[in-house]
Amino acid sequence: MSVQSLQEEKNRLRHAEAAQENWTVLEAATLLRLPLMELLFKAQSIHRTHFNPNQVQLSTLLNIKSGGCPEDCGYCPQSARFETDVQASGLLDVATVAKAALAAREAGATRFCMGAAWRAPKDKDLDQVIPLIQAVKNLGMETCVTLGMLRPEHAAKLKDAGLDYYNHNLDTSPEFYGTVISTRTYQDRLDTLASVRDAGINVCCGGIIGMGETIEDRASLLCTLANMPTQPESVPINMLVRVKGTPLEAQPKIDSFEMVRTVATARIMMPKSFVRLSAGRQEMTDEAQALCFFAGANSIFYGEQLLTTDNPLTLDDRHLFDRIGLTTATAAHG
Residue 144 inside a domain? The answer is: yes
- pLDDT given at position 308: 47
Residue 148 inside a domain? The answer is: yes
Residue 23 inside a domain? The answer is: yes
pLDDT per position as a tens digit, 33-45: 999 999 999 999 9
- pLDDT given at position 18: 42
Whether the pLDDT of residue 1 is over 70: the answer is no
- Lowest pLDDT segment from 75-89, 190-204, 221-235: 75-89
Per the annotation, the verdict on 276 as an active-site residue is yes
Whether the pLDDT of residue 323 is over 60: the answer is yes
Give the CATH number of the domain where residue 36 resides.
3.20.20.70
Per the annotation, the verdict on 12 as an active-site residue is no
- pLDDT given at position 240: 93
Categorize the per-residue pLDDT at 305 as very low, low, confident or very high, splitting at 50, 70 and 90: very low
| Mean pLDDT to the nearest integer, 65-82 | 75
| Mean pLDDT to the nearest integer, 297-316 | 68
| Mean pLDDT to the nearest integer, 101-124 | 89
Could you say which of 105, 111, 144, 242 is catalytic?
A: 144
Residue 146 inside a domain? The answer is: yes
Per the annotation, the verdict on 144 as an active-site residue is yes
Structural domain for 177, as ranges: 3-328
253 closest CA partner among 210, 209, 207, 215: 210
Per the annotation, the verdict on 223 as an active-site residue is no
Residue 75 inside a domain? The answer is: yes
Could you say which of 105, 189, 197, 204 is catalytic?
A: 204
Q: Chain-wide mean pLDDT for the chain?
A: 87
CA distance 155 to 199: 6
Asked whether the CA dihedral 43, 48, 52, 53 is positive or negative, the reply is: positive
Could you say which of 105, 111, 113, 242 is catalytic?
A: 113
Could you say which of 73, 205, 223, 292 is catalytic?
A: 73
Residue 333 inside a domain? The answer is: no
User: Residues for the chain: how many in total?
Assistant: 334
Whether the pLDDT of residue 271 is over 90: the answer is yes
Per the annotation, the verdict on 113 as an active-site residue is yes
Could you say which of 261, 276, 281, 292 is catalytic?
A: 276
pLDDT per position as a tens digit, 130-143: 999 999 999 999 99
Which pTM does this prediction carry? 0.88
Q: Which residue has the higher pLDDT, 273 or 3?
A: 273
- pLDDT given at position 329: 75
Whether the pLDDT of residue 5 is over 70: the answer is no
Per the annotation, the verdict on 204 as an active-site residue is yes
- pLDDT given at position 317: 83
Categorize the per-residue pLDDT at 21 as very low, low, confident or very high, splitting at 50, 70 and 90: low
Per the annotation, the verdict on 292 as an active-site residue is no
Categorize the per-residue pLDDT at 8 as very low, low, confident or very high, splitting at 50, 70 and 90: low
Could you say which of 76, 205, 223, 292 is catalytic?
A: 76
**Structurally, how many domains does the chain consist of?**
1
CA distance 322 to 56: 12
Q: Which residue has the higher pLDDT, 55 or 107?
A: 55
Categorize the per-residue pLDDT at 19 as very low, low, confident or very high, splitting at 50, 70 and 90: very low
Categorize the per-residue pLDDT at 223 as very low, low, confident or very high, splitting at 50, 70 and 90: very high
Residue 334 inside a domain? The answer is: no
Whether the pLDDT of residue 326 is over 60: the answer is yes
Categorize the per-residue pLDDT at 7 as very low, low, confident or very high, splitting at 50, 70 and 90: low
Q: Which residue has the higher pLDDT, 255 or 86?
A: 255
Residue 181 inside a domain? The answer is: yes
- pLDDT given at position 160: 93
Categorize the per-residue pLDDT at 312 as very low, low, confident or very high, splitting at 50, 70 and 90: low
Task: Give the chain as a 3 state SS string.
Answer: CCHHHHHHHHHHHHHHHHHCCCCCHHHHHHHHCCCHHHHHHHHHHHHHHHCCCCEEEEEEEEEEECCCECCCCCCCCCECCCCCCCCCCCCCCHHHHHHHHHHHHHHCCCEEEEEECCCCCCHHHHHHHHHHHHHHHCCCCEEEEECCCCCHHHHHHHHHCCCCEEECCCECCCCCHHHHCCCCCHHHHHHHHHHHHHCCCEEECCEEECCCCCHHHHHHHHHHHHCCCCCCCEEEEEECCCCCCCCCCCCCCCCHHHHHHHHHHHHHHCCCCEEEECCCHHHCCHHHHHHHHHHCCCEEECCCECCCCECCCHHHHHHHHHHHCCEECCCCCC
